[in-house]
Amino acid sequence: MNKVEKHTHKQHQVHPSGLPVWQTGVRGLLTVVGAGPGDPDLITLKAIKALESADVVLYDALINESLLEYATNAEKIFVGKRKGCYAYQQEQINELIVSRAKSHDHVVRLKGGDPFIFGRGAEEIDYAQQFGIETRVVPGISSSLAVPAYQGIPLTKRGASESFWVITGTTKSHKLSQDVYLAAKSNATVVILMGMSKLNEIVSIFAAENKRDIPVAIIQNGTTEKERFGFGTIQTIEQVVSDKKLSSPAIIVIGEVVNQRVKLTSICREVREEIVS
C-alpha cells in the first residue's frame, strides 16, 4: 500500500444554510471538533451536526460525556487521560484516526474547549493529511475564555485590561512557558492553562515584578456542576489553593479584571437561574 494512499471523494453538497453536508459513501473524512469547556450547552450547532453524522468518535477526558449522545450510531472510543494515565499515547491516537478513517465514512475527534488552543488538533490534522484523509475543523469555545466568563471575569475591560495572554503552564518539555516572564512584565490579563503544578514558580515570577497585590482567580472544572474556585492575590493564592484543596483541571487568571467580577457574576447567576426555573 502506498504511504500516501489514493483517495477519492464525492463533491460535498452544501446545505442551503451554507453548512457542508457530509455524504455517505465518502470515506476518510476526519472532523476535529471542539466540545466546549464542560457545560454541554456550550457546544456549537456545527459540532452537534458533526457528531450526529459520525461513524466513530474518539474523545478526550475533558469533554462532557453527555455530548456523546448526539453520536447515536457511532463507535465511541475514549482516548484521553484519566487518573494520570493515558488511555493512548499521541502516536497511537494518530494511528487510530487513520485506521478508522480508512474503514469508516466519518471520524470525529472530539476535544475539550477549542481543538487549536493547546489541543493538539493541528498535529492530528497534519498526520491524517499525510494519508490523503480529508480534514475539517469545528472550533469550540475555549475554556480559556468561558471559564473566567462563568465567574463573571471579563478578560478585557476598558480601564482595567487592554489585552490578554493565554499561556500554557506545561510545555512540551514539561516546563513552564518562558512567555510567563514576558506576560508578567505587561499590564495584560494573564490566563494560564495546565499551570497548577507550577503555581509556586508563577507566583515567584509575578512577585519579582513587584506584583504581589495583583488579583488572582483559580477556577477548577469551570462551567460544570463540579466547578470550584478561589480568589486571592499573587501573595495569597497559594494558601487559598491549599485551604480550598483546588487542583487540576483548573485555569489561573491573573489581573485587575479579577476584582471587577462581582457585578458580572450576579448578572450571570440571574440569567442561569432564569434558564433553570
Ligand X SMILES: C[S@@+](CC[C@H](N)C(=O)[O-])C[C@H]1O[C@@H](n2cnc3c(N)ncnc32)[C@H](O)[C@@H]1O
Q: Is 1 a catalytic residue?
A: no
| Residues binding ligand X: number (CB under 6 A) | 26
Read off the C-alpha cell for 8: 477519492
Stretch that binds ligand X, among 64-72, 235-243, 249-257, 258-266 (CB under 6 A): 249-257
Distance of CA 35 to the CA centre of its chain: 8
- 148 in contact with ligand X (CB under 6 A): no
Q: Is 194 a catalytic residue?
A: yes
- Rounded Cα distance between 84 and 94, Å, is 20
Residue 89's alpha-carbon distances to 63, 92, 118, 156, in angstroms, are: 18, 5, 16, 37
Residue 238: burial class (beta carbons within 10 Å; 0-12, 13-18, 19+): middle
- 194 in contact with ligand X (CB under 6 A): yes
Whichever of 30 and 194 has its CB closer to ligand X, that residue is 194
Q: Which of 250, 253, 258, 264 is close enough to bind ligand X by CB under 6 A? A: 250
- 215 in contact with ligand X (CB under 6 A): no
Instruction: Report the run of H or E that residue 219 belongs to, with start and end.
Output: strand 215-220
Q: Is 198 a catalytic residue?
A: no
Stretch that binds ligand X, among 43-51, 117-125, 129-137, 156-164 (CB under 6 A): 117-125
> Helices marked H in the chain — which ranges?
45-52, 90-103, 121-129, 143-150, 179-185, 199-208, 237-244, 261-276
Whichever of 40 and 104 has its CB closer to ligand X, that residue is 40
Per the residue annotation, which of 55, 114, 194, 211 is the catalytic one?
194
- Rounded Cα distance between 132 and 7, Å, is 6
- Matching residue, cell 475539517: 136
CB 152 to ligand X: min, Å = 15
Q: Which of 28, 29, 33, 37 is close enough to bind ligand X by CB under 6 A? A: 37
- 38 in contact with ligand X (CB under 6 A): yes
Stretch that binds ligand X, among 25-33, 47-55, 131-139, 217-225 (CB under 6 A): 217-225
Per the residue annotation, which of 81, 126, 175, 243 is the catalytic one?
81
For 242, half-sphere exposure in the C-beta direction (CA atoms, 13 angstrom radius) is: 6
- 230 in contact with ligand X (CB under 6 A): no
- 80 in contact with ligand X (CB under 6 A): no
- Rounded Cα distance between 122 and 106, Å, is 18
- Residues 231, 208: contact at Cβ < 8 Å? no
Per the residue annotation, which of 39, 49, 55, 60 is the catalytic one?
60
Instruction: Tell me which residues are annotated as active site.
Output: 60, 81, 194
Q: Which residues bind ligand X (CB under 6 A)?
A: 37-38, 62, 111-114, 117-119, 142-144, 147, 193-194, 219-224, 248-251
